[in-house]
Amino acid sequence: MEEGIKLHIHNVSKTYRSDGHEVLAVDEIDLKIRNKEFATIIGPSGCGKSTLLRIVAGLVKPTKGIVRLDGNVISRPGYDRGMVFQSYTLFPWLTVKENIQFGLEISGMPKAQQEEIAQQFIERVGLKGFEKSYPKGLSGGMKQRVAIARALANNPAILLLDEPFGALDAQTRALMQELLTQVWEELHKTILFVTHDVEEAIFLSDRVFIMTARPGKIKAEIDIPLERPRSYEIKATESFLNLKKQALRLIREEAIKAIQCRE
Amino acid sequence: MKGNKEKEWERAPRGLEDFLSPREPIPKRLYLVLALSSFAFFLLVWSVLTYGGFVDPLFLPSPGRVFRAGVDLFVELEFTTDILSSVYRVMSGFIVAALIGVPLGLFMGTFKVAEALTEPVIGFIRYMPASAFIPLFILWLGIGDIEKIAIIFVGSFFQLVLMVAVVAKNVQKEMLETAYTLGARRFQVIWKVLLPASLPGIVDTLRIIVGWAWTYIIVAELVASASGIGYMIISSQRMLRTGNIIFGILTIGMLGLLTDYFFKWLYDRLFPWVE
Ligand SMILES: Nc1ncnc2c1ncn2[C@@H]1O[C@H](COP(=O)(O)OP(=O)(O)O)[C@@H](O)[C@H]1O
Ligand SMILES: [Mg+2]
């Protein structure tokens, strides 16, 4: 096991077969995510980002290649890889608190301890007072905060986030980014985040990977040396804007290539 | 949101075109008035036809006569026994169908193996009308309760299984996947996610199925029976007691409505969390 590497996606490809034709969704991706790193994959929609995350989660089997977490080959889903989806996935029959305790209860943890941990994460994501609410009474932003708290409460080795703010309006989205940054700066979890929003990627991450249009490959990697703790004001600084320019240029080249391929 | 929209209604001036816009909400009171007036209109037409002497009372008795026929039915002809015997048959057939059909439907909607094994067969049987089984079941089982219950079972079971399977299939895939990534094993995903997520859909399916069961029982009792609401209707026909027939039909309607409301009430009580 390589020093400081948490997750190694090793030459992973995925071909979907449906009704006789094949779709190469992910093409020979090799990616190393460092321990306690906030890494983001950015790419156009349909390029295989969700597929890649599902493979890491163990929900989809790769056609080729393997994924190692802490050196161990992944073969199926487990609590050590928590995941948050873009669509709302709270269990609607459970309250906010019960949702957050779901994984803990399954692990057989004593009730008192479950409640203590749940309470701690409810406060961390700013949902105090909503413990007993059902998801139906929550806004989209609140639902995603519960989903993040639920994944974190389980204390996974890595957190996988698949466009978790994709369905939110711009203002809520910005606030959620701040909240996630703050949580990350406190907990230093290894995070693999997926988005198609350049600003979001730069604001949150230590490193950004740019993925090509389908079949998805990693085209480039940008280090984000912006200092922490980060606040929303950083989005207007020169260094931020330079990084944004650099990323946009790379993405544009990709988009042009994708269009030419189609023609 | 909804509340605001209704309040705007109170203030804004309205023309007829506002009430005839597709799916636009209308004030609650207007809704109630319209609903009641449809009943009133029905009753009015009936009254004009009968009290006005436009039709032969032998074929269509007046509302008052039907009411009196109803009283007689309960007081002199033990109609309560008939009602209870129909209710008993419907509920027995329905409950047996639900006890077997719900788990089977869940299996079908959850596992492709179960789907392949059962779907084609059930999909085929479903298109055989339950009422066509009546002559066969009379030969096999006689004309007692068992035969009636068997008809109800055939009429509800196959539809129920397919509908429950669809409910289970429609459970959002990401919800199951989330459970896996929270450490749940397959069995736990089924028990703790798939099942609770399907329950509201199952109760709603049961509500629809029990409504159909009511139509099957009447057909079965009309064909051959010694008790039940359908039996009362067919014997009244022989004696030209149209008042009894109409009262019987209204009774079935009321019972259907009651079961429907019971299931709706149950749904609201059990699933306050549904959006
Ligand atoms: N279960 C599936 N079966 C067949 N094709 C799929 C499946 N899931 C995704 N795909 C295809 O794979 C490609 C990548 O999809 P996805 O990973 O969802 O991309 P992204 O998340 O980047 O939008 C798309 O062309 C999509 O249609
Ligand atoms: Mg996606």
Tell me the domain boundaries of chain B: 2-55, 68-270
- For the cut 60, the answer to whether the pLDDT of residue A102 exceeds it is yes
Same domain flag for A140 and A209: no
| CA dist., res. B63 & res. B72, Å (int) | 14
Mean pLDDT of B182-188: 95
Mean pLDDT of B83-108: 95
How much distance in Å is there from the Cα of A52 to the middle of ligand 1? 10
Percent above pLDDT 90 for chain B: 72
B177/A85 Cβ within 8 A:
yes
Mean pLDDT of chain B, nearest integer:
90
Higher pLDDT, B152 or A45: B152
Mean pLDDT of B41-67: 92
In which residue are the tokens 């290539």 written? A257
Last residue of a domain, one of A130, A155, A180: A155
- Top residue of B181, B190, B203, B267 to mutate, by most chain A CBs within 10 Å, is B181
β-pair partners for A66: A10
Copy the structure tokens of residue B52.
């006005």
- For the cut 60, the answer to whether the pLDDT of residue B3 exceeds it is no
For residue A79, which residues of chain B lie inside 8 Å, CB to CB? Answer: 181-183
Same domain flag for A179 and A199: yes
| CA dist., res. A37 & res. A5, Å (int) | 10
What pLDDT band is residue B46 in, cutting at 50, 70 and 90? very high
B183/A154 Cβ within 8 A:
yes
Query: Considering the domain boundaries, does residue A125 fall inside one?
Result: yes
Same domain flag for A186 and A260: yes
Mean pLDDT of B206-233: 92
How high is the pLDDT of residue B151? 94
How high is the pLDDT of residue B14? 64
- Write out the residue range of the structural domain in which residue A58 sits: 1-80+168-263
A77/B180 Cβ within 8 A:
yes
Give ipTM to 2 decimals: 0.93
Sequence-ordered strand ranges (E) for chain A: 5-18, 21-34, 38-42, 64-69, 72-73, 81-84, 158-162, 190-195, 207-211, 218-223
How high is the pLDDT of residue B195? 96
B272/A87 Cβ within 8 A:
no
Last residue of a domain, one of A116, A131, A155: A155
B170 touches chain A (CB under 8 A): no
For residue A83, which residues of chain B lie inside 8 Å, CB to CB? Answer: 177-178, 181
Residue of chain A minimizing CA distance to B199: A93
What pLDDT band is residue B118 in, cutting at 50, 70 and 90? confident
How much distance in Å is there from the Cα of A51 to the middle of ligand 1? 6
What pLDDT band is residue A219 in, cutting at 50, 70 and 90? confident
How high is the pLDDT of residue B22? 81
Same domain flag for A135 and A183: no
In B60-131, alpha helices (H): 63-76, 79-110, 112-125
If you count them, how many residues does chain B have?
275
Higher pLDDT, B20 or B183: B183
How much distance in Å is there from the Cα of B189 to the middle of ligand 2? 23
The 10s digit of each residue's pLDDT in A136-189 is 989 999 999 999 999 999 999 999 999 999 999 999 999 999 999 999 999 999
Query: Considering the domain boundaries, does residue A160 fall inside one?
Result: no
Give CA separation, A48 vs A16, A74, A215, B188, in Å.
11, 19, 7, 29
Same domain flag for A107 and A226: no
Mean pLDDT of B83-101: 95
Q: Are A183 and A147 in contact (CB under 8 A)?
A: no
Same domain flag for A108 and A18: no
Same domain flag for A71 and A95: no
A78/B178 Cβ within 8 A:
no
How high is the pLDDT of residue B119? 86
- For the cut 50, the answer to whether the pLDDT of residue B2 exceeds it is no
What pLDDT band is residue A191 in, cutting at 50, 70 and 90? very high
| CA dist., res. A27 & res. B38, Å (int) | 64
Q: Which residue has the least CA distance to atom 12 on ligand 1?
A: A25
Total structural domains in chain A?
Answer: 2
- For the cut 90, the answer to whether the pLDDT of residue B8 exceeds it is no
For residue B191, which residues of chain A lie inside 8 Å, CB to CB? Answer: none
Same domain flag for A65 and A101: no
How high is the pLDDT of residue B1? 44
- For the cut 80, the answer to whether the pLDDT of residue B13 exceeds it is no
| CA dist., res. B163 & res. B210, Å (int) | 13
Atom of ligand 1 nearest to the CA of A196: 22
> For the domain that residue A74 is a member of, what is the CATH number?
3.40.50.300
Sequence-ordered strand ranges (E) for B77-157: none
B196/A91 Cβ within 8 A:
yes
Residue of chain B minimizing CA distance to A107: B183
What pLDDT band is residue A212 in, cutting at 50, 70 and 90? confident
B68-270 homologous superfamily = MetI-like (1.10.3720.10)
Q: In what order do the strands lie in the sheet with A64-69?
A: A21-34, A5-18, A64-69, A72-73
Same domain flag for A98 and A194: no
B179/A102 Cβ within 8 A:
yes
Same domain flag for A64 and A191: yes
- For the cut 50, the answer to whether the pLDDT of residue A235 exceeds it is yes
- For the cut 80, the answer to whether the pLDDT of residue B19 exceeds it is no
Q: Taking CB atoms and a 6 Å cutoff, what residues make up the pocket around ligand 1?
A: A 16, 18, 23, 25, 43, 45-51, 214
Mean pLDDT of B257-264: 93
Last residue of a domain, one of A155, A177, A197: A155
In which residue are the tokens 């029990």 written? B210
How much distance in Å is there from the Cα of A46 to the middle of ligand 2? 7
Mean pLDDT of B72-97: 93
- For the cut 70, the answer to whether the pLDDT of residue B134 exceeds it is yes
- For the cut 90, the answer to whether the pLDDT of residue A54 exceeds it is yes
Q: Which amino acid is it at B151?
A: I
How high is the pLDDT of residue A261? 66
Same domain flag for A36 and A122: no
- pTM to 2 decimals? 0.87
Q: Would you tell me how many other CB atoms lie within 10 Å of the CB of residue B259?
A: 20
- For the cut 90, the answer to whether the pLDDT of residue B200 exceeds it is yes
**Angle value at C-alpha A54, between A45 and A60, nearest 5 degrees:** 120
What pLDDT band is residue B127 in, cutting at 50, 70 and 90? confident
Mean pLDDT of A9-18: 94
Residues of A with a Cβ under 8 Å from any B Cβ are 54, 57-59, 77-79, 81-83, 85, 87, 89, 91-93, 102-103, 106-107, 134-136, 147, 150-151, 154, 160
Higher pLDDT, A169 or B2: A169
Same domain flag for A179 and A258: yes
| CA dist., res. A59 & res. A113, Å (int) | 29
Query: Strand A72-73 to strand A21-34: parallel, antiparallel, or no bridges (unpaired)?
Result: unpaired
